[in-house]
A and B are shown apart, each in its own frame.
Chain A
Amino acid sequence: MSVIQVDNLTKYYGKARGIVDVSFHVDEGEIFGFIGPNGAGKSTTIRLLLSLIYPTSGSATIFGKDCIKYGPELRRDIGYLPSEVFYYDRMKVIDLLKYSASFYDKDCTDRMHELAELMELELNRRIEDLSYGNRKKVGIVQGLLHRPTLLFLDEPTAGLDPLMQRQFFQLIREENRRGVTVFFSSHILGEVQRMCNRVGIIKEGSIIEIADIRTLQQNNYKKVRVATGDPADVEGVAARFDMAGVTNLQQHNGTVRFFYKGDINAVIHRLGELTVSDVTLEEPTLEEIFMHYYE
C-alpha cells in the first residue's frame, strides 16, 4: 500500500514557482529520499503534504486519505522535523516537549525521556539559550515522541555534529525497522545514499527521476579508473576509450578516468588489449549521478 500518493501536485506562490506537476508515491515501510538543491521545491512538497500550504492544483493522499480534508486526523500519526527549528523562547525544553505531547491521546512520557537521553538533550535548559544543534535535537525528540508511523525529515542533520548525526541515523533506522515510513528530504547525497531505498530527484520544481537507489547506481553508470604503466602512454590509452557510452573522459597524472554506460564487456575487452598498472571499476556515488542530472 502507498503511504503517500502524490498526483500532479502544483504550487505557485503568486507567480513564483514552487513545484510543478509533481507525482510520486511512497510505500509502506520504505525510506524515500527526496533530493535536490536548495530552492528546488523539497520543502514546498513537504509543506503541501502537511497542509501548511495549499496546492494550486493536484492532490495528495496520506494513508489513503486526502491530506487536506483529513489533515488533523492524519497528523496524529505523522512526525515532522522541520529544517529550521524555532520554538516559543521563554519555554524550557521539558515544557515544550510536554506541550508537544499534550496534543496526542497517548502517554508519551517514557518515549520522551528515552529520546532525550539518546540525543543527549538537557531538559531543564531554556530553549532560547540553546545552540542551533541543540535546538535541532529538541526538534527530533518533539517529532518522534508520539511514535508516529510516518516521518517527514526536512534537511534533518544540518547543525548536528557527526557523532549526533550517526546517533540520529541509527534512531531513524530503528524506527524504520519497526515499520515506520520515512520521507527524507536532503541535499546531502551521502546521507541519502546511506539511508534510502528509493530516491526522487527534483530540479526546478519538477521530478526528473524516481528510481531505486541500487538501480540508479548499478544499471546506469560505472566509474572506471585506469592507471597506465608508462605516463607517456596516457594519450594513447585515453584515445582507446573514446567510444560509445563513455562520458567525462579525463586524463591526469598518468591516470585515465571516465564514466561508462552500456555493456561492460566492451570496456573489459579494450582493457585486455592494454598494459596497465592498475584498474578500478566502481559504482559512482549518488553525488556523481546527481551532478550528471544537473549538468
Chain B
Amino acid sequence: MTMNIFQQEFKMHTRSVITWSLGLTALILLVVSLFSSFAQDAALLNEMMDNFPEQLLTAFGMTGLDLATILGYFSLAFLFVQIFLALQAANYGFSLVSVEEREWTADFLLTKPVGRTRILTSKLLAALSALAITDIVVWASSFFSVSMWAGDAAYDTSTFLLLMASIVPFQLFFLAVGLVVSLLVKRIRNVTPYAMALGFGMYVLSVFGDMLGESALEKITPFKHFEPNYIIQNGAYDLPLVLISVAVIVLSVVGSYLLYARRDIPSAV
C-alpha cells in the first residue's frame, strides 16, 4: 500500500460516504420508529398477511415473518437497507479503476514510481475504509433505533448481531464483483447503469428464485446468501450459501489483481 494514494482515494470517497450514511440512517430511523404503532395492530397485520397469496409473500421474502416482533419487523426494513448497501458497494467496485481511465488520470498515476499491485491495494483499502464507515454508521443507527423503539419487545441480541455482521461480506461481494467486471470490459463510460444492473439484478434474481422455487438462482445472489428473514428465523447463517459468497469474493479479488497487472491503459486520443 502507498499512503499518499490511499489518502487521495479516501478523500475522493468522503462526499459519497457521507451521503450514503446519512441516507441509510434516515431510512433505518424512519422505519423502526414506526414499529410501536405498528406492533399494536400486528396481530391484525399478521392475519391480513396470512390472507395474502403465498407467492406474493415469498416474492418479498416474507414467509413466516412475524411482524409483531421487533426483529421480524426489522428484517423487513433491512431488505431495503441491503439494496442500498449493494448499490453503494457495486458503485465503488465498478468505479475503482474505471474512473481513472475515463478521465485519463490513469496516465498520471501509472507513470509515477509505483507498481500496479500497490496502486490497486491502496485503492481497494480506501474503498474498504469507505464501506467500513458506512457499515459502522448502519450498525450504530440500527442499534440505536432498535433499542429506542423496541419498547418491551424482547429480542435475541446474538441474532441481531449476526444480521448486522452480514453486511460486511454482503458489500464485499458487490465491491469485488464490480471491480472484476470493470476490468473484464474494455471501458466503462458511466458507472451507474452497471452498478444498478448488478445491485438490482441480484435482488431480482433472489425474488424470482423465491417465486419459482428455483434453488439454482439463490446460489448466485448474495440477497439469498444473507437473507435477513433466514438469519432471524434460524439465528444462524445458511453456511453453504455464505461460503459461495466468500469464494466469489476471493476469486474476484485475485482475478482483479491478475487482470490489472496486465491491463492496457486506453489512451486519450
Contact = CB atoms under 8 A, between A and B. Distances in A.
Contact of A13 (B114, B115, B264): B264
B15 to A, nearest CB: 9
Of the listed residues B4, B106, B118, the one surrounded by the most CB atoms of chain A closer than 10 A to its CB is B4
B268 interface: yes
A99 B269 contact: no
> Secondary structure of the A side of the interface?
loop
Contacts of A51: 110
Contact of A43 (B12, B262, B264, B269): B269
Interface string A68-80: 0001111110101
Given A82-B268, A84-B269, A86-B103, A76 B113 contact: yes
Contact of B108 (A44, A90, A100): A100
A50 B267 CA distance: 12
A100 B112 contact: yes
A71 B8 contact: no
Contacts of A80: 107, 111
A103 B4 contact: yes
B113 A104 contact: yes
A87 B262 CA distance: 23
B265 A52 contact: yes
Contacts of B8: 88, 99
A142 interface: yes
Contacts of B115: 71-72
A43 B108 contact: no
B105 interface: yes
A83 interface: yes
B113 A86 contact: no
Interface in A63-115: 71-76, 78, 80, 82-90, 99-100, 102-104
A244 B103 CA distance: 55
B3 to A, nearest CB: 9
A13 B263 CA distance: 12
A53 interface: yes
B104 interface: yes
> Secondary structure of the B side of the interface?
loop
A102 B267 contact: no
A86 B105 contact: yes
A88 B12 contact: yes
Contacts of A53: 264-265
Interface in B9-37: 12
A54 B262 contact: yes
A84 B105 CA distance: 10
Given A88-B12, A89-B103, A103-B4, A78 B111 contact: yes
A43 B4 CA distance: 28
A53 B118 CA distance: 17
Nearest to A53: B264
Contacts of B108: 82, 87, 100, 142
A140 to B, nearest CB: 13
A72 B112 CA distance: 7
16 contacts: A44-B267, A47-B265, A50-B110, A51-B110, A54-B262, A72-B113, A73-B113, A75-B111, A78-B111, A83-B268, A86-B104, A86-B105, A87-B108, A88-B12, A100-B108, A102-B4
Interface of B: 4, 8, 12, 103-108, 110-115, 118, 262, 264-265, 267-269
Interface of A: 13, 38, 43-44, 47, 50-54, 71-76, 78, 80, 82-90, 99-100, 102-104, 142
Which 6 pairs, one residue from A and one from B, show the smallest C-beta to C-beta distance? A84-B268, A102-B4, A53-B264, A103-B112, A86-B104, A75-B113
